[in-house]
Structure 1
Amino acid sequence: MTQPPAAAPAVDVLIVGAGISGIDAAWHLSRRLPNHSFALLDGKQEIGGTWATHVFPGIRSDSDLFTFGFSWKPWTGRPIASAGEILGYLNAALDENDLRRHIRFGHAVRAAAWDSAAQIWTVTVRHGNQDVTMTCRFLWMCSGYYRHCEGYSPGWAGMEDFAGPIIHPQAWPADLDYSGKRIVVIGSGATAATLIPALAKTAAHVTMLQRSPTYYFPRPMSDPFNETLKALDLPQDWYHEIMRRKFLLESETMARRSREEPDAVATELIGAARAYLGESADIETHFTPAYRPWRQRVAMIPDGDLFVAIRTGAASVVTDRIERFTRGGILLRSGDELAADIIVTATGLTLNILGDVALTVDGAAVNPAQCWTHRGIMLSGVPNLAMVFGYLRSSWTLRADLVSAYVCRLLEHMQAAGMASATPALRDRDRGMQARPWIDPEDFNAGYILRGLDLMPKQGDRQPWVMTQDYFDDRHTLPAADLEDGTLRYATAAAR
Structure 2
Amino acid sequence: MACHLQQQSGRGLFRRSSPKKRKSIKQNTIQRFLVLEKRADLGGTWDLFNYPGVRSDSDALTFGYGFRPWLSHKMLAKGVDIKSYIADTAREFKVTEHIRYQHEMQQLSWSSATQQWTAMIKNHNNGEVLTLTANFVVGATGYYDYDTGYKPHFEGEEQFKGNIVHPQHWKNVAYDDKKVVVIGSGATAMTLLPALVDESSEQCARHVTMLQRSPTYVASVPGDDYALDWLSGKFSPLSKRQAYSLLRTRNVMFQQGVYQLATHAPKVMKAFLNHGVKKNLKGSGVDVGHFAPSYNPWDERLCAVPDSDLFLALQGKRAEVVTDKISHFTETGIALVSGKHIEADIIVTATGLKLQMLGGAALYIDGQQVDVGARMTYKAVLLEGVPNIALMFGYTNASWTLKIDLACQYVVRLLDYMDKHNYKTVCSQAQTEQEQVQVRPDTVLGALSAGYVSRAKDELPKQGDRYPWYVTHNYVSDRIMLKYRKIKDDWLHFSR
Report if TM-score (shorter chain) is over 0.5.
Answer: yes
Residues 278-332 of structure 1, C-alpha deviation per residue, up to 9 Å, x if partnerless?
1453544311111111111111100111111001222100000000000000000
- The structure-2 alpha-carbon separation of the partners of 1:42 and 1:224, relative to structure 1 and needing over 3 Å to count, comes to closer
Map 1:163-312 to 2 at 5 A.
163-173=161-171, 175-201=172-198, 202-223=204-225, 225=227, 228-229=230-231, 234-279=238-283, 281-312=285-316
- The structure-2 alpha-carbon separation of the partners of 1:137 and 1:25, relative to structure 1 and needing over 3 Å to count, comes to closer
Aligned residue for 1:374? 378
Paired residue type of 1:256: Q
Residues 42-100 of structure 1, C-alpha deviation per residue, up to 9 Å, x if partnerless?
01110000001111110111111111110000111022211111111111111111111
Secondary structure at the counterpart of residue 34 of structure 1: coil
Map 1:83-482 to 2 at 5 A.
83-128=79-124, 129-173=127-171, 175-201=172-198, 202-223=204-225, 225=227, 228-229=230-231, 234-279=238-283, 281-425=285-429, 426-431=431-436, 433-439=438-444, 443-482=447-486
- Return the offset for 1:222: 2.5
Structure 1 stretch displaced more, 80-89 or 327-336 = 80-89
Distance 2:325 2:84 in 1: 40
Paired residue type of 2:417: H
- Return the offset for 1:487: 1.3
Residues 86-144 of structure 1, C-alpha deviation per residue, up to 9 Å, x if partnerless?
11111111111111101110101100101111111000111031211111100000000
Distance 1:20 1:88 in 2: 15
Contact 1:16–1:140, Cα closer than 8 Å, also in 2: no
Residues 433-492 of structure 1, C-alpha deviation per residue, up to 9 Å, x if partnerless?
343444377x32110000001112222222222222222220112223343212111121
Secondary structure at the counterpart of residue 175 of structure 2: coil
Aligned residue for 1:49? 44
Distance 1:344 1:152 in 2: 12
- Return the offset for 1:349: 0.4
Contact 1:125–1:132, Cα closer than 8 Å, also in 2: yes
Distance 1:387 1:405 in 2: 13
Contact 1:24–1:400, Cα closer than 8 Å, also in 2: no
Contact 2:10–2:44, Cα closer than 8 Å, also in 1: no
Paired residue type of 1:38: F
Aligned residue for 1:4? none
CA RMSD between the two structures = 2.3
Contact 1:212–1:289, Cα closer than 8 Å, also in 2: yes
Distance 2:295 2:197 in 1: 28
Unpaired runs of 5+ residues, structure 1, are: 1-12
Distance 1:39 1:224 in 2: 38
Secondary structure at the counterpart of residue 271 of structure 1: helix
- Return the offset for 1:343: 0.2
Paired residue type of 1:235: S
Structure 1 stretch displaced more, 236-245 or 54-63 = 236-245
Contact 1:15–1:39, Cα closer than 8 Å, also in 2: no
Aligned residue for 2:18? none
Secondary structure at the counterpart of residue 210 of structure 2: strand
Paired residue type of 1:171: H
Contact 1:21–1:397, Cα closer than 8 Å, also in 2: no
Distance 1:30 1:482 in 2: 17
- The structure-2 alpha-carbon separation of the partners of 1:293 and 1:32, relative to structure 1 and needing over 3 Å to count, comes to farther
Distance 2:452 2:188 in 1: 13
Aligned residue for 2:201? none
Distance 1:198 1:301 in 2: 12
Distance 2:387 2:474 in 1: 26
Identity %: 37
- The structure-2 alpha-carbon separation of the partners of 1:16 and 1:407, relative to structure 1 and needing over 3 Å to count, comes to closer
- Return the offset for 1:270: 1.6
Distance 1:324 1:30 in 2: 59
- Return the offset for 1:176: 1.5
- The structure-2 alpha-carbon separation of the partners of 1:328 and 1:437, relative to structure 1 and needing over 3 Å to count, comes to same
Structure 1 stretch displaced more, 288-297 or 220-229 = 220-229
TM, length-normalised to structure 2: 0.91
Distance 1:352 1:70 in 2: 25
Contact 1:65–1:80, Cα closer than 8 Å, also in 2: yes
Superposed structure 1 runs of 4+ greater than 4 Å apart: 13-17, 19-26, 29-33, 223-227, 230-234
- The structure-2 alpha-carbon separation of the partners of 1:104 and 1:55, relative to structure 1 and needing over 3 Å to count, comes to same
- The structure-2 alpha-carbon separation of the partners of 1:16 and 1:231, relative to structure 1 and needing over 3 Å to count, comes to closer
- Return the offset for 1:387: 0.4
Secondary structure at the counterpart of residue 434 of structure 2: helix
Distance 2:122 2:5 in 1: 14
Paired residue type of 1:285: G
Structure 1 stretch displaced more, 224-233 or 342-351 = 224-233
- Return the offset for 1:421: 0.6
- Return the offset for 1:260: 2.2
Contact 1:15–1:38, Cα closer than 8 Å, also in 2: no
**2:6 is the counterpart of 1:18:** yes
Aligned residue for 1:66? 61
- The structure-2 alpha-carbon separation of the partners of 1:22 and 1:400, relative to structure 1 and needing over 3 Å to count, comes to farther
Unpaired runs of 5+ residues, structure 2, are: 15-23, 199-203
Structure 1 stretch displaced more, 86-95 or 225-234 = 225-234
Secondary structure at the counterpart of residue 458 of structure 2: helix
Aligned residue for 1:5? none
- Return the offset for 1:358: 0.4
Contact 2:3–2:408, Cα closer than 8 Å, also in 1: no
- Return the offset for 1:277: 1.4
Contact 2:7–2:404, Cα closer than 8 Å, also in 1: no
- The structure-2 alpha-carbon separation of the partners of 1:477 and 1:19, relative to structure 1 and needing over 3 Å to count, comes to closer
Paired residue type of 1:57: P
Distance 1:222 1:307 in 2: 18
- The structure-2 alpha-carbon separation of the partners of 1:121 and 1:15, relative to structure 1 and needing over 3 Å to count, comes to farther
